[in-house]
Amino acid sequence: MALEKSEQKGVVILCMTTMMLLFSYKKDVENSEFMECLNQMSSGHSHVRRTIEQCVPHHELLEEQMKRQTGKAALNRTAMSLLAAYNYGRYAIVTVEAQGWYGREVYCRYLDANLRETEPAIRTVVFPEFIVYCCGLERAAHMSITQTVDEAVVLTAPVMQNQERHYKYDVSLCLAPIYGKNSVWLLLAEMIEYYKLQGIEHFFLYVKDMEAYSKRLLDDYVNSGDAEVVYFKSHDNRNDKLWQLVGVEDCLYKNRNFSRFLLFGDLDERLTPVGNITVAEFISFAHLFTFT
């Protein structure tokens, strides 16, 4: 990645400063060290190498809970499969479909719009299940997760920029993943139309399997802007119910700074407030509890 002249000057100054510091501690600094610094920075790796501990503000809490094996289950490990990537500024989240990776060491990889790597890989772990914490990088258009630092990048996920709190919706609903070949179009229509009357503005749906007629109805809701659908890519033999945790994790992080309030529900469940009030109106009273 080529640098502008002003950026090149900054790179040279930073490298010269680094060399001056090295001279203070050792006298045998070689020209190759200076050139290596220039080469790394001019190739696009111009940021100081970071660690996951520096990027994630609550890393110590996560590490403590992982040592306690909080949320760990005996799951068969499946092949790595990415779902999405969300950048929150200082840190980022990559959601994965793969199960059985709890606590395993992996590497966050950063790529531009042309899928060229733009930043050194950062070591991290999968925790909790289906979640990988990474350092944030605003100029990364895609991210990947690999098992080793120099493994060829095959799987990528586009990065959603969720740094700033600009709520598009006040109240949204995340539907538990739909699976199986049974017809669900009537339940789906009833659920969405009911909650629209209750003031719910947007629907996030996750699908593992769906028969053709129900999919036609779902596509219509997507085209109208009422819903967003995520189709799982993995086709392993895990219990269908285990997909629910994947959907919950992804929908939660997808809506951070995107929806002010978030409901989670199943296709056959309905929230019905007591009295002459809608679900959205009931939730609006949450400001009394100092939610921002």
The 10s digit of each residue's pLDDT in 69-116 is: 999 988 999 999 999 999 999 999 999 999 999 999 999 999 999 999
pLDDT confidence of 9, banded at 50, 70, 90?
Answer: very low
Q: Which residue has the higher pLDDT, 139 or 17?
A: 139
What local confidence, expressed as pLDDT, does residue 29 receive?
41
Token pair listed for 72: 């760990």
pLDDT confidence of 49, banded at 50, 70, 90?
Answer: low
- Examine the pLDDT at 145 and tell me if it is beyond 90: yes
The 10s digit of each residue's pLDDT in 268-286 is: 999 998 888 999 998 888 6
Task: Please state, for a pLDDT cut of 70, what percent of the chain lies above it.
Answer: 81
Q: What is the mean pLDDT of residues 195-212?
A: 96
Which domains does the chain carry? 52-161 (2.60.40), 169-290 (3.40.50)
Contact 58, 66 (CB under 8 A): no
- Examine the pLDDT at 39 and tell me if it is beyond 50: no
Contact 62, 102 (CB under 8 A): no
pLDDT confidence of 242, banded at 50, 70, 90?
Answer: confident
